[in-house]
Structure 1
Amino acid sequence: MLEQWYTGVVTKIVDETYNTKRFWIQIPEKASFDFKPGQFVTLDLPIHEKKNKRWRSYSIASHPNGSNEIELVIVLLEGGLGSTYLFTQIKEGSELTLRGPLGVFTLPEVMERDLFLVCTGTGIAPFRSMAHHLHLHGIPHPNIYLISGSRYEKDLLYKTEMMQLSADMPGFQYIPTLSREDAPSWTGRKGYVHAVYEELLADKRPAHFFLCGWKAMIDEARQKIVAMGYDRHDIHLELYG
């Protein structure tokens, strides 16, 4: 079956950090854009003659709410044709060609084990969607640990919102972890995300791992998690860049 392409209209753009923007896109052809938390859309951008070199995929950062509008959070990659186009050419009211929702990076049907959602950078997008979805619908869930890695505090996305969710949602813990921050005002975790889940899982209890973000982080996490004695089938991943 050929995927259908839609015309999306950009309704709002917000600068989230110095190098990331949030884009809200409405799909007028659909009364509601239904997706599962964790899925992504693919944009067809006019940046190349070849189709496959024009396509850029982004996880949906918003949760399914019955509307025909979704949110994407996008980082400006140095030399990145796709993100440069979106940052410089797209304004509120611009049109974008997209297809989706796509992907199987979604919550398990049966959630009996603790969930470790490990991300770097904009890799937090699918986890934000999942967490809000579970909270809003009161879906029973095990302990959920959202371990979000960045270099500096200024790089953290949705920090205030995730801290609020951590306070409001029993069994949900947001653990931002910074690898290069040396400001005395930062009292949270320092270092890399791996040390956090290794510590939390010293008891080797059953767990599911969802990894989203930079390839180097995902490769290292896969090795470490298997070395801890977990099965590779316990690991689900979505690669960025």
Structure 2
Amino acid sequence: MRVNKWGVGVMLAAAVVLTGCSAGSEKPADEKPAAGAEETTAPESDCPELSDGATVDGAALGTCITEAMTDTAGYAAKTSILGMDTTARYNPGTDAVETITPMGSLIVIGDDAWVKSATSEWQVADPNSSDPIIAALSSGAQTAADTDPATAAGALTGEFTVTGTGTRLGQDVYLLSGTSEAQGVAVDVVFEVTSDYVVLATTGTTEAAGQTVETSLEITEWDAEQDIVAPL
């Protein structure tokens, strides 16, 4: 895919769709438990107990995920969108997000945002930049928080069914499959969630700009503080 403003925009938009609604791949054989992976806290609300064949309303599922993933020191994730790998780190305590894509990086801390392309230095985000990559990254920075699984889950719709089980980061997970709608776009998605509703991986398929967009997300580090600082 050509590296232009549309390409960056689709990558960032797909990341939002992915984390709001997506499915898990199989656990690599050499995967090691992440720090704090076994210390998740159950949601306070009355979330249904997960079991094989159980169904969960999408809105209820989103609430349970948000509550379960809010009380954490931080986490890191790896995504694959349109065959391109992206990494992200989240620090809820400082309201900070860092995203690194093949075309550039962005850091958002509260209301402040900075971006850099693969060939530029860090600069304050500017959606009106004459550089299409900087402009696209800057626009993506405005919605970077939406790529946080804890935030994006709030937009889930539809119904999800437990279709299997597996393991991820040393924990047992349930596979919840369903179709959710994001901004009028249907997304076929599977979540890998722990019994207390922490999302550890997702994958999804949807159509965007006339092409099939396949996405996957894997939490690589859970409940570990992420040191995200302003680059300028």
* TM-score, structure 1 normalization: 0.23
- Structure (1 or 2) with the greater strand fraction: 2
Tell me the TM-score normalised to structure 2 length: 0.24
Q: Which has the higher contact order (CA 8 A, sep 6+)?
A: 2
